[in-house]
Structures are given as C-alpha cells and as structure tokens.
Amino acid sequence: MDLSCLSASPFLPMVGWSTVLLAVHVMLQAFTTSAEAARTLGASWNPGPRDVDFTPSGKIAGRAARASGNFRETYPAFIALALALALKGDASGWGTGGAWLWFACRIVYIPLYLAGVPYVRSLAWVGSMLGLAAMFVALVS
C-alpha cells in the first residue's frame, strides 16, 4: 500500500487541530471546575489528592463540563472518518467540507454553550453532525 498520499492529505492537519480543540475543552473544564472548587472547598483542593469528590454546581463550570462531554461524544467519529478518508486518499469536496464544517461548528459550540444560548447552540450541534455525515458520504461513495 502506497502511503505517500497521507503526506498531502488535508485530513491529517485537521486531526492535529482537532486535538487542540480537545485540549481547549479539557483545560476549560479543568479551569472552571478548579476555580469553583477553590471557592467552595478552599485553595488546597486542586493541588491536593482530591479525596473529596467535587461536582461543579455553578453555571459556567457545569456548562464547560457538559460541552466537553458533548464534544467527546462526536470526537471519535470525527477521528475515525478523517483517518479513513486520509487512507482512502480522496480529498473530495464532501469529505474536506464535512471536516471543516464539523470543526467550525465545534468551535462555535463552545461559547454558545458557555453563554447558555438556546436553539443556536443546537443548530451548531446539528451542523457538526451534518459535517460527520458529509465525511461518511465521501468515505463510502
């Protein structure tokens, strides 16, 4: 199998950038939870052994946790589709467009969720799912 097509694939940089987006979710969740825990349990909770379970009850920390969980639900599908399309060597409009749509919608989703914006946030989620669907169509066609 000739893997030289992978070096020119637009999907590999997308996988890289998606890991940055994952890191943003993880850090956002960690920072907001740590800040709330410091206010509630004291500053020693975060650097300590965290023997006391803490579930954030504040709006922002809770939203950051839920947004991160939502991202992680679609992230494996994105990775699988992007890598499969990279191996297929087909950088058609559907696959690349779908990957960019998923990525853009997932970026927009974060501030919409943190701000508590209804409906538009759901549209961003639907857009990300349409992006995955476009990637799937490009893969199987």
What was the pLDDT predicted at 78?
A: 98
What was the pLDDT predicted at 3?
A: 56
Residues of the chain with pLDDT under 50: none
| CA dist., res. 119 & res. 112, Å (int) | 10
For the entire predicted model, the pTM comes to 0.87
CB-based burial of residue 51 (10 Å sphere; 0-12 exposed, 13-18 middle, 19+ buried)?
exposed
Q: What is the largest CA-CA distance in the chain?
A: 57
What was the pLDDT predicted at 1?
A: 52
pLDDT, one tens digit per residue, over 12-30 is 999 999 999 999 999 999 8
